[in-house]
Each structure stands twice: as C-alpha cells, then as structure tokens.
Chain A
Amino acid sequence: MAVPTSTIRPAIRCLRNPARRGPSPLPSTHSFTTTTQRKDEALETTSTPSPLPPTLDPNTVSTPLEERQLLRTGVHPIGSRRRRAAILSSDNVPFEQMPYQCFQEARAVLAEDRSRKLVEIAEMRKRIVFWQNVHPSDLGGEYAKKGKLVRMQKYLEELKILADVNDPVIKKRFEDGVGDMNRPIYRYLADRKWREYKRKLLMQRISQMHIVPDVLPHLDPTAEVSLGFGRRNVQPGEFVDSRVSEIPARLKVQVFDKGERLVSIAVVDPDVPDEARDSFGSRCHFLAVNVPLSPTDTSIPLSRLKLEEHVVHHWLPPYAQKGAPYHRLAVFVIQQDDAGRGASLDVKALRESSEYKRDGFKVRKFVDQKPLKPIGMHLFRSKWDEGTDGVVTRAGIEGMNIEFTRKKPEKLPYKKKDGARYR
C-alpha cells in the first residue's frame, strides 16, 4: 500500500480480488454444491489458515525469491507475477463500489439474469419432484416417465451452468485455479478448457498412433489425465527415457462429472515383439483396481497405491529390446460400473486369474468382461536407449540380450520362361 490512491491505475483496480479484502459482490449466489461442508466463498478466502508470514500471500508475492519461499511451503502463487504485483499496489475496491457507471449497469444486468435463472431452477426442482410422484401409467409407461425425468434433470443442470457462467468473479476464480470442483460451474469451465486444446491433442495422438483400433475398439475420453515421472511431466505420445520411466508414474485425473467413483488403472504395452508369430503381443506394465476418484481428489501416484487393496500388477518399467520398433505405453483410466458408481472388483481373483496375467494382457478383454468403461487415457512411448540395460537388470527382467535386425528381403520365385519361345 505504498502507492497513494491518486496514482492507482483503474485497470489494475479491476484486477484485484474483491473477495479477499471486501465483502463478496454476490454473496447469496453460490449455492450449487454437491457437498454440504463447502464453505461460502467469502468465508473460504478470509479464513485461510495463515502459518505463512504476511509477505508470503499467494495473491501478492511478486519477487522470485518470495515465490520460491512460498512454493517451499507447498502453496502455489496465484495468477501471473505482473498481476500479483499490481494487486500489491492497488487499493482493493470491491466490484460493487467501483466508480464506473457502465460496469455497474452491466453487473446489474447480469445479477438480474442470474436471479431469473435461480427462480427457474427452483421451479424446475419443484416440477421434477412433482413428476417423480406421478404414476407412470399417466405418462405413457415407465420408459416415457424415465425419459421425461432425465430430460428435466438435464435441463436443470444446464440452468445451473447458465446462472453462473457470466459471473466475473467465477471466471476469475477459475482462471486462478482456486475454483471448487464440487460446483458444476467450475467443472463445466474446466471441461470446456480441456476440450479446447488438450483433448484435441490427445485424440490426435490416439488416432495417429493407432491406439484405437489396436488396443481398444472405441474410445471417448471424458476425463483429463496428465502423467509424469518424478518432477517431469510427459506430453501425450512423448518418448520417455527408460531411466526416467523406471519409477512408477504419477497420474492426475480430473473428472468433470460429480461424485465419487472407483476406477481401474491399466498401463499396457501393445508392441511386444513376438518372433515366433512374426507379429506383436501385448503386456501389462501396471494394473490397479478400486482406486477412489472424485472431481476434487485428482492425484493418483501409482507408487503410493496400497499394494494389498488396489494393485494387481505392480509397476514394471517400460523397456524395449534393441532394434525393435518403439513401444507405445497406453495408460487407461477405467471407470468401474458406470451405472452403480462404485462396484468394486475382486483384487485377489484378478491376481490369480490366468486371463489377466502380465503377458498377453488385453485391455479389450478386461473392459468387455467387466462392466467397465474407459474414461481417460494417456500415452507415451519408449524405445531402447543407453539406460535400458541398467533398468532391465535392476528390475530383474530376463531375455534382453537379444538384438533385432531386419530380415533379409525375400525375392519372388524365379519364373522360368518357356524355352520354345527362344528357338
């Protein structure tokens, strides 16, 4: 607050966080949550635990040194450094006190629209309750009633999004990465952002690297999966050094629909050379089942999963024999029983069954036989490199003293011409 009020730039003042210093501009508006224990927005921000010294506010740290100190405590700075510096030197006028007439009128329009949507939502809820109690024969059968209720529920969800989607505070909180994923609007925004680029890239890699016909017949990812080893993040389809992928991967899975569910995680290599058949086989590098997942609990480090409870096949480092074509490592996040949400699989039976052994593991078969649905996917590639021999020796993998070379090209059988022609 060293800068006098007269010199504050208006644009900067627009950027400050109103919820932090002043009352929330739309305090009554944020009501759609799936969890009851969620705190109100204003409450959430004012009551943040502060073991940090006051200089290390994630909203205002603006020097690299302070940022590093903050990161060491496990808190990430919010937004850009330029914006944080701007917040530091601005007086934080809340939105409703800003002296811009047009802005205030725009806010009024948005607030009015929102209140209209809220009325509609309440109305819709009432109607849903009403139609739930109507006997199916009055609606033309059970099937018709179910369809009607599904349509109404879908419209209700749409209204919840429409009520909040124009709110500048919501937009800002989402961009800062502090949005509460239990609320439909933040899930909607996150989904939209994912579909804008990351999903497109993933789909491109899936089709380019033929994951879809080779590993699964069809795939429609609905959850964002990001993958990394240690500190290093991996882009879809990237070549990963064998020494890097020696440790189990860590996954971040963001689902965009509400609720807890159980997922299975399978890492499969469909490019295992099979010299006897002159073709390729597949191998499972990791399989875990019954892993809980929700929109707020996104992190799944494969090394921290409980061995007894979840892990069927522990992490086998990806490797490739010398001279073999590159191996694709496909990571699947598979939701267990889409309808019931939480049907668990029998870990022991899976471990003992001969169908789901490491060698020859087929994702198609795994997905087909259980009521499972793949919701997320990631892939990386690996090929033989200098570190592979070491990785393989440490992991105790045998049969790696083989080098693949090209077969000698065959020739067509020589066709002897008719001798009579040359007499």
Chain B
Amino acid sequence: MSPLSLRSPRLALSSHTSPSFQWLPLLPLHHSRPASHASQGRANKAAQGPGKRLGAKKGASELVVPGNIIFRQRGTHWFPGENCDMGRDHTIFAKEKGYVCFYKDPETHPKRKYIGVVFERGMKLPVPRNKPRNRRLGLVGREREMGTLATATPPRVTSGEGDDGLEVGGMTEQGGTLRQQDQRTRAKVPELKRMELRPGYQYRDSNWHIGRAAERAQIKVREYKRGDRFLAWRKLNARKARNAERRALSSRKKKGSKK
C-alpha cells in the first residue's frame, strides 16, 4: 500500500480517478484579500489627544482663597458643598478662605460626593442640620456722611410706593455732596413732584405740559385767519428781507475767506 492512500482514503480514491487532478495546479499560489477596513483617513483618527490635566488641584485640609480651583472634572464626579461653587465646566472652586474638605452628606443626597471649605482647620463637614450656619461677614466698615435730607423729610410711613420721599431720595444719588444736593433738591421738590418716569427712563415733563409752556409764559399768539392776504404779504416781505440779509452776510464771509 502506498503511503498516500494510508493518509486519506478519499484522496487515495481521487488519485486513482484522473479528471479533477488535471486542473488543481491552475489555482493561484498566493491568495490576497481586498481591504474591508480603510487603512487611512477618518476611520483611524480616533487617537487619544493630549491629557486634560483633570483631577484634584488641592488636597484635603489645604488652604484655599476665594477663586482657587480645587477640582477639575468632566461631569460632576464631585459637587460643590459649603463655601464652594461649580464653574461652567463643572470645575469646583472655593468661595471663601479656608481649608478644603472632601465629604459625603447622606441626609442631603445619599450618593453625592461633596467638596467644601471650612473656616478653621480641623472643622468637620457636613455640619449637623440643626446647627446654625457658620457665616463670614467678609466686609469692612468705613465712615460715611449721613444724608441730611432723610432727616428733614417728615415721617411718612403709611405707604411706600408712590411716596414723595422715595422719589426725592432717588434724586440724591447722582453726584455732589449730599448737603449741597439737599438744598438743590429742596428747591426742586415741587418741580420733581410733577415730573414722572417717562418711557426711556427719564424724569421729564409730560408732553402736554411742554406743549403749554407758551400759555404759562402768557405769550399771546395772534389768531390765524384763513384769508388774511395782508398779513401773508407782510410776512412774505419780512422773509424776503431776512433771506436777502442772510445771503449778503454769507457772501461777505465767503469773499473774506477767499482773500
């Protein structure tokens, strides 16, 4: 028995039958497959970019001042707690000077992690719910001059809106020392009372009031008569004379300038 027939009976059989044996050597020796995935271009551009430097910028019980960034993150892994706030990109930053504290507050939210700032080193967060908040004033006092106008106005307390005192008080804010302003304002009071806030946010007279200015100044205007040709003729002449004068003036100026 030949060794070939030992290996596979079917192959041994085919070796005996001649026709299929004929075309076997015609197959290509090196078979290559076409690409099913692009090797260049958009598909392979998803490489990792540069690192974004996220993470904690300050450790626990580290000193921070207002504005210091404590944590940079994508999304809210951490939430702002006491005396902290969250920026536009979820960055946690300090609002008060103090020491950083990382904590959980199960009573407020069982799953959230918070970053807070305490005023003294060693203070714990969260504070118990019924304990008064620790608050810092964060302001300095300085001397100022009290408004004398306020003392001069009579005590009117029955209503706040539309109160005269309010309006007058609003006027004092604009400039100059308060005392000078008081005198000025007191003189203006009747005038200011009449004025009201018009569209465009300005205190001014109403239109009808402006329109009657001539009447108040007692200026008499001759009544208009429709067919009064004599008056028209006089007005025409007056206008002509005025125009001639003006023209003469301007021509003289021009001549002067040319010289």
Q: Which residue of B lies closest to A321 (CB)?
A: B141
Interface residues of A in 138-187 (CB under 8 A from B): none
Q: Given A230-B159, A243-B165, does the pair A402, B143 have CB atoms closer than 8 Å?
A: yes
Distance (Å) between the CB of A67 and the closest chain B CB?
22
Distance (Å) between the CB of A295 and the closest chain B CB?
30
Other-chain residue from A213, A390, A404, A412 in contact with B139 (beta carbon distance below 8 A): A404
B64 — which chain A residues lie within 8 A by C-beta? 412
Q: Given A243-B156, A394-B155, A409-B65, does the pair A401, B150 have CB atoms closer than 8 Å?
A: no
CA–CA, A264 and B133, complex, Å: 26
CA–CA, A322 and B142, complex, Å: 10
Q: A275–B66 contact, CB under 8 A?
A: no
Q: A386–B165 contact, CB under 8 A?
A: yes
Q: A389–B151 contact, CB under 8 A?
A: yes
CA–CA, A291 and B192, complex, Å: 46
Interface residues of B in 146-166 (CB under 8 A from A): 146-147, 150-151, 153, 155-160, 163, 165-166
Q: B144–A401 contact, CB under 8 A?
A: yes
Q: B204 interface residue, CB < 8 Å from A?
A: no
Other-chain residue from B132, B139, B150, B160 in contact with A244 (beta carbon distance below 8 A): B160
Q: Which residue of B lies closest to A401 (CB)?
A: B146
Q: Given A214-B133, A232-B160, does the pair A393, B138 have CB atoms closer than 8 Å?
A: no
Q: B150–A278 contact, CB under 8 A?
A: no
Q: Mark A399-411, 1 if CB is under 8 A from B, else 0.
A: 0111111110111
CA–CA, A273 and B156, complex, Å: 28
CA–CA, A21 and B91, complex, Å: 72
A37 — which chain B residues lie within 8 A by C-beta? none
CA–CA, A280 and B138, complex, Å: 10
Q: A41 interface residue, CB < 8 Å from B?
A: no
A210 — which chain B residues lie within 8 A by C-beta? 133
Q: B25 interface residue, CB < 8 Å from A?
A: no
Distance (Å) between the CB of A410 and the closest chain B CB?
5
CA–CA, A109 and B144, complex, Å: 75
Distance (Å) between the CB of B175 and the closest chain A CB?
16
Q: A409–B66 contact, CB under 8 A?
A: yes
Q: B4 interface residue, CB < 8 Å from A?
A: no
Q: A402–B150 contact, CB under 8 A?
A: no
Q: A273–B144 contact, CB under 8 A?
A: no
Other-chain residue from B135, B141, B144, B169 in contact with A387 (beta carbon distance below 8 A): B169
Distance (Å) between the CB of B17 and the closest chain A CB?
85
Q: B157–A411 contact, CB under 8 A?
A: no
Q: A231 interface residue, CB < 8 Å from B?
A: yes
Q: Mark B162-189, 1 if CB is under 8 A from A, else 0.
A: 0101100110100000000000000000
Q: B139–A389 contact, CB under 8 A?
A: no
A244 — which chain B residues lie within 8 A by C-beta? 157, 159-160
Q: Mark A368-398, 1 if CB is under 8 A from B, else 0.
A: 0000000000000000011111110110000
A232 — which chain B residues lie within 8 A by C-beta? 159-160
For this complex, into which size category does the number of interface residues on chain B fall?
35 or more
Task: State the interface size on chain A (CB cutoff 8 A).
Answer: 49
CA–CA, A260 and B100, complex, Å: 53
Q: B150–A406 contact, CB under 8 A?
A: no
Q: A35 interface residue, CB < 8 Å from B?
A: no
A324 — which chain B residues lie within 8 A by C-beta? 139
CA–CA, A80 and B92, complex, Å: 55
B156 — which chain A residues lie within 8 A by C-beta? 243
Q: B140 interface residue, CB < 8 Å from A?
A: yes
Most buried by A among B137, B165, B166: B137
Q: B225 interface residue, CB < 8 Å from A?
A: no
Q: A241 interface residue, CB < 8 Å from B?
A: yes
CA–CA, A240 and B159, complex, Å: 11
Other-chain residue from B138, B169, B172 in contact with A406 (beta carbon distance below 8 A): B138
Q: A412–B143 contact, CB under 8 A?
A: no
Most buried by A among B64, B130, B157: B157
Other-chain residue from B130, B150, B155, B157 in contact with A389 (beta carbon distance below 8 A): B150
Q: A279 interface residue, CB < 8 Å from B?
A: yes
Q: Which residue of B lies closest to A243 (CB)?
A: B157
B165 — which chain A residues lie within 8 A by C-beta? 243, 386-387, 390
Q: A229 interface residue, CB < 8 Å from B?
A: yes
Q: A274 interface residue, CB < 8 Å from B?
A: yes
Q: Given A231-B158, A244-B159, A410-B65, does the pair A388, B150 have CB atoms closer than 8 Å?
A: yes
B163 — which chain A residues lie within 8 A by C-beta? 243
Q: A217 interface residue, CB < 8 Å from B?
A: yes
A246 — which chain B residues lie within 8 A by C-beta? 155, 157
Q: Given A387-B150, A389-B151, A393-B151, does the pair A217, B159 have CB atoms closer than 8 Å?
A: no
Interface residues of A in 241-262 (CB under 8 A from B): 241, 243-244, 246-247
Q: Given A213-B130, A232-B160, A409-B65, does the pair A390, B138 have CB atoms closer than 8 Å?
A: no
List, sorted by A's number, 9 A–B pairs whose CB atoms are closer than 8 Å: A212-B130, A214-B132, A241-B160, A241-B166, A387-B165, A390-B155, A407-B139, A412-B64, A412-B65
- Shortest 9 CB-CB distances between A and B: which pairs? A386-B169, A217-B130, A390-B150, A389-B150, A241-B160, A403-B144, A404-B139, A402-B141, A246-B157
Told that A275-B137, A387-B165 touch, could you supply 5 new A-B pairs with CB distance under 8 A? A212-B130, A231-B158, A243-B157, A389-B150, A404-B141
